[in-house]
Structure 1
Amino acid sequence: MEYKWIIREKADPKAVESLGKEINLNQTLANMLVNRGVDTFQKAKDFFRPDPDKLHDPYLMKDMDKAVERLALAIQKEEKILVYGDYDVDGTTSVAMFYGFLKQFYSHVSFYIPDRYKEGYGISEKGVRFAAENNFSLVVSLDCGIKAIEKVALAKELGVDFIICDHHTPGDILPPAVAILDPKRSDCEYPYKELSGCGVGFKLVQAFSDYRKEDPAKVMAYLDLLAVSIAADIVPITGENRILTFYGIEKINNNPRPGLKALILRSKIEKEIEISDIVFKIGPRINASGRLEHAKASVELLISDDLEDALARAEIVDTVNAARKNFDENITKEALTMIHGMEEIRHRKTTVLFKEDWHKGVIGIVASRCIEKYYRPTIILTESNSKATGSARSVFDFDIYEAISECSDLLEQFGGHKYAAGLTLSVANVPAFQERFEEVVSARINEIHMKPVLEVDDEILLDQINYRFFNILKQMAPFGPGNPEPIFCVNQVYAEDVRILKDKHLRFNVVQDGQETKPVCIAFGMADKNMYPDEIMYKMLNRKMRFDLAFEIRENTFRNNSSLQLYVKDIKFD
């Protein structure tokens, strides 16, 4: 895939110079910080030294007082409480956190995760009736519920109250719940709008813990779960999320709960955990049980308080994840074959594919894989419970949720974010939806959306790459949306000592005229990458052709010896 490089514009020179002097940084690093909105000494202090005392007062969230009051009443009257969450990572970590918190001091509490295949996303009628039939008079929903107007109304009829903790965008009408905690409510003045579903639940835990006059350390003990939800749900790691993630990652590395410790061991991660480890190794394992079987297994793993028990549960989850990978690979091949074989689809601005026997649990992953090959807004649909149900994924800076909203008259249900969404519709409406979605996207999408973008922080010289530079970059973590891992470029360089590793990766030293530093570069999966007709990357590098290089700086440790390496993001030849 060919990337369009966007090199960030230089920040205001006066602001860069001022910040550089105040905190003793070179112009490259000071420019990066100013471009990230860190342009004063105090902002730099807050950025490099996140302070948990600067977390927002949970009572600033609309309805927080009502939620605390109703929860307190339920405990006082010994009512049965049901903790209800979605089946993805955000939902299962939310349930594990809130259930674990209540279980410390209250025994009349259980949890419920809907079955992806029998009930679908969010609050289900089956879940509501389960609560009523089993005498649960209060349901706390996490990471779902903001659009469940009919289901919450049914619960009210059946004598079941709801406290909704959600972070998705509300509709024009809110459900008839006792309390609705969602910073995206138009009437909510909570200062930070980008919390994960688990993050909203955490604010309720904070408020209720304060009401009970609990030690704040008991609340902070759940930050490992919260960090996993923030990373896996791809919400911005800015503002309050940065503080929560910083301390959550610290807890994961120093004292994770048994369930996460077991997942780390199963993932064979033998270094400090980073956001990318959660996104690509830990998160998919938590997600796997909900994709193929039932997410209850993931919650039981995350609430386990015994490492031996957790290891046994993690092994089961890991086995399911291996099966998930197999489904994912096979369905992706089918989907790509469908696109390649139909000229009309191949030349569209969108991909919308439907096949009734595709596994519902992996269609979101398949949509992402299709975008890697055909870069455009993509929806993969399958049949479930006699309906077409699908997952949507978007491309750089294109709001797929808004585009789907324009087709709402053809849908029975939809929800999501700018870059990912879910939808349900009648099988008969699939062809009409394919056409309408193509029309809507074609009218909205720009040329910049149609090519993958690589955002480069700055052009540098190879001699700038040293441990002082790298150690400051490390302190900018945790990285994620809103604070991406720094990417740099060097221009007009060439390669020496080019080798192929494991038949597909490249290792070489990069050389720049006038510079002494010749760092090792690792280019994953690029050995036989086609660059031009009859040319592959390996041969072009071996001929010492000049190129521009985009990369991240990483530390490699082998036999107790550490060195800096460049992880190649892209190469552009002259």
Structure 2
Amino acid sequence: MHFKWNYKPQTTEEEKAAKELAEKIGMSPILADLLIRRGIRTESAAKRFFRPMLNELNDPFLMNDMDVAVDRLNDAMGRKERIMVYGDYDVDGCTAVALVYKFLQQFYSNMDYYIPDRYEEGYGVSRKGIDYAKATGVKLIIVLDCGIKAIDEIAYAKTLGIDFIICDHHVPDEEMPPAVAILNPKRPDSTYPFSHLSGCGVGFKLMQAFAKNNGIPFSRLIPLLDFCAVSIASDIVPVTGENRILAYHGLKQLNQNPSVGLKAIIEVCALTGRELTMSDIVFKIGPRINASGRMQNGREAVELLVEKDLNRAMKEAGLINEYNEQRKDVDKQMTEEANLIVAKLENQQHLSSIVLYGENWKKGVVGIVASRLTELYFRPTVVMTLSNGMATGSARSVAGFDIYEAIKSCRDLLENFGGHTYAAGLSMKTSNIPEFRRRFQQYVDDHIQPEQTQAILDIEEMIDFKDITKKMHADLKKFAPHGPYNPKPLFCTRNVYDYGTSKVVGRNQEHIKLELVDSKSSNVMNGIAFGQSAAARYIKSKRSFDIVYTIEENVYKRGEAQLQIEDIKPSDDSQEALQ
């Protein structure tokens, strides 16, 4: 892949501010500048960033309808009504259901939970789910990570005497469902101070409010924070503000005392004994929870997450791990087929978006394929398949492009749609696909910026190897947890050389294990460059080159830094790449 390197040098004012902040917080000016780039300019703001405190969480009653929601929940318990916790089949939905169900179950037993079948019922609140609730005597449904567009379904539930509390974080339409309470920080009339909560995060705020109203100590909620961390990492919401607090303490819980179900998943991922990060959730834990809803039914994931017995949890985790292996095979095959179609289209004309339809593709995997195509081609992508007579699919976007708005512009062609800036779901009649493709493409052409369709590495700091001290490495760890709006910092070092011991590694000799030096010090830095073996010949030629990398922990030598190299360019070429 040919990356464009993007670097914005410090202004004189920023350099001065970084030096002043560095002195106050006892860190290098390099790291102080990273804080300033994140909008953190004072000592007190830096302390809050490095040590997020649970007492700084927003008052849950600042959220619209929260008082109504808690009153209705209290009434249901007082009247001994049956309560159903209902959620989406993805990681965010399953963790949200597990969190709310596990917490309430400590105080109330007349409860059930429900995850719709992706293949039979589709996304969101279904009539089948409501009918099941009616048949089992449910009077109140708490719906999580979906429901904000379920106008007809919730109206239908109302005729059956079933009330709804909606806990959602997707963008609402102009009209909202006739629920008793709608908890959604993206409501147009929202007064809540933080709008980027995950669906599980909204569920947590409801439980926080319920606990506060009923005199239950906040400490009873802390064991559930690992679910929040898993949802925040998997749903790719901004790791700022309240999400940073929840993710920070959720990761702490995940590492020190995870719930039984998550402990079993950690075991099957072979992550036991390691310091878990947001990346481990994104690439290992999250996909296994998701695999249940993709390949079978998400209810199995919730069963695992609420399990109390480790032996049973290990069996359930093993099954979910098998689903994940099956998912990988299907995903690989579908991605290869999709790539062939895109390659044919590329030969005809270069388009700024991708819209694909495969009648026999697996519905549970189209979102992953859309993500892979977006990463490969740097274009907004929609991938659909046939489900219950409709073209149903997922959309994924590139940095800075609002795919939800692009899909909304074609709403007259759609049966249903919903989502966020970077990910959305949609369904339409198959006969509407050609017109949707044309109009979606036109919207993208009119709104996308050229730089959004390029592979760009945003370099935060230009440094030398002498800057990478043990203290700098230790301080850098405090910037975690990482995610949108707080990415792992990318560094660039120029004019580095092979120490003479770099070599190609990997099953197919596709990676390079590097030992590097630069001209400013005698430090020998270890690095790994995944999938970049094509650069090996140049590296061994003894000529200088420039690298862009993140600084990671060396898993074999704890406390030692290792460079994860994202791109390598001959020194002359990288100057051009930074233009």
Q: TM-score range by the shorter chain?
A: over 0.9
Alpha-carbon offset, residue 345 of structure 1? 6.1
Q: Which one of 448, 451, 468 corresponds to residue 451 of structure 2?
A: 448
Q: How does 1:42-191 map to 2 (within 5 A)?
A: 42-191=44-193
**Which of 526, 536, 542 pairs up with 2:540?**
542
- Shift in Å, 1:561: 6.2
Counterparts of 2:348 and 2:179, CA distance in 1: 44
Per-residue deviation, 1:23: 1.0
Secondary structure of the corresponding residue to residue 111 of structure 1 = strand
Check if 1:504 corresponds to 2:513: no
Paired residue type of 1:259: G
Note if 1:295 corresponds to 2:295: no
* Secondary structure class of the residue paired with 1:396: coil
Mapped contact 1:3–1:570 kept (Cα < 8 A) = yes
What residue is the counterpart of 1:553 in the other structure? 551
| Counterpart in the other structure of 1:533 | none
Q: Against the structure 1 CA distance between its residues 28 and 232, is the aligned structure 2 distance closer, same or farther, given a 3 Å change threshold?
A: same
Query: Displacement, 1:104?
Result: 1.1
SS at match of 2:336: helix
Give the letter aligned to residue 501 of structure 1: V
2:548 aligned with 1:566: no
Name which of structure 1's ranges 340-349 and 15-24 shifts more when overlaid on structure 2: 340-349
- Whole-angstrom CA distance in 2 between matches of 1:553 and 1:329: 30
**Unmatched runs of 5 consecutive residues or more in structure 2:** 573-579
Equivalence for 2:577: none
Paired AA for residue 160 in structure 1: I
Taking the aligned partners of 1:362 and 1:209, their CA distance within structure 2 comes to 38
Percent identity of paired positions between Structure 1 and Structure 2: 47
Q: Indicate the SS of the match to 1:348.
A: coil
Give how far 1:337 is off.
Answer: 0.7
For the residue of structure 2 that corresponds to 1:391, the secondary structure is strand
Q: TM-score, normalised by structure 1?
A: 0.96
User: Given that residues 489 and 550 in structure 1 are in contact (C-alpha distance below 8 angstroms), is that contact kept between their aligned partners in structure 2?
Assistant: yes
Tell me the secondary structure at the aligned position of residue 268 of structure 2: helix
1:77-114 CA distance string (max 9 Å, x none) = 01111100000000000000111111111111000101
Q: CA deviation at 1:498?
A: 2.1
| 1:311 aligns with one of 309, 314, 326 | 314
The Cα shift of 1:315 comes to 0.1
Q: SS of the counterpart of 1:221?
A: helix
Q: CA deviation at 1:524?
A: 1.0
2:182 maps to amino acid: I
Which deviations, in whole Å up to 9, do the C-alpha atoms of 1:128-176 show, x marking residues without a partner? Answer: 2222222211100001111111111111111110000001111111111
Q: For each residue in 1:61-83, what CA deviation from the matched residue of structure 2 results, as whole angstroms up to 9, or x when unmatched?
A: 00000000000000000111110
Paired position in structure 2 for 1:484 = 487
C-alpha contact 1:345 1:351 (8 A) present in aligned 2: no
| Paired residues of 2:85 and 2:112 also in contact (CA < 8 A) | yes
Q: Which string of whole-angstrom CA distances, capped at 9 and with x for unpartnered residues, describes residues 426-473 of structure 1?
A: 011111111111111011111111102212111001111121000000
Mapped pair 1:521 → 2:516: no
**Is the Cα contact below 8 Å between 1:396 and 1:453 reproduced in 2?**
no
Cα shift at 1:495: 2.1
| Aligned pair partner of 2:284 in 281, 301, 322 | 281
- The verdict on how the C-alpha distance between 1:403 and 1:310 changes in structure 2, with shifts beyond 3 A counting, is same
State the superposition RMSD in angstroms: 1.3
**How many angstroms apart in 2 are the aligned matches of 1:409 and 1:453?**
35
Q: Which residue of 1 aligns with 2:6?
A: 6
- Structure 2 counterpart SS, 1:184: coil
Q: Secondary structure at the match of 2:202?
A: helix
The answer to whether the 8 Å contact 2:465/2:520 transfers is no
- The one-letter code sitting in structure 1 at the alignment partner of 2:565 is V
Q: Give the stretch that moved more between structures: 316-325 or 473-482.
A: 473-482
Question: Which residue of 2 is the match for residue 530 of structure 1?
Answer: none
Deviations 1:340-390 (A, max 9, x none): 123466511111110100001111111111123322111111000000001
C-alpha contact 1:339 1:346 (8 A) present in aligned 2 = no
Matched position secondary structure for 2:479: coil
Between the aligned partners of 2:128 and 2:158, the Cα distance in structure 1 is 14
Please, which runs of 5 or more residues in structure 1 have no aligned partner?
528-535
Partner residue of 1:368 out of 354, 362, 371: 371
Aligned pairs, how many? 565
Partner of 1:531: none
Is this contact kept in 2: 1:289–1:317, CA < 8 A? yes
Q: Is the 8 A contact 2:502 2:514 kept in 1?
A: yes
Displacement of 1:570 in angstroms is: 1.0
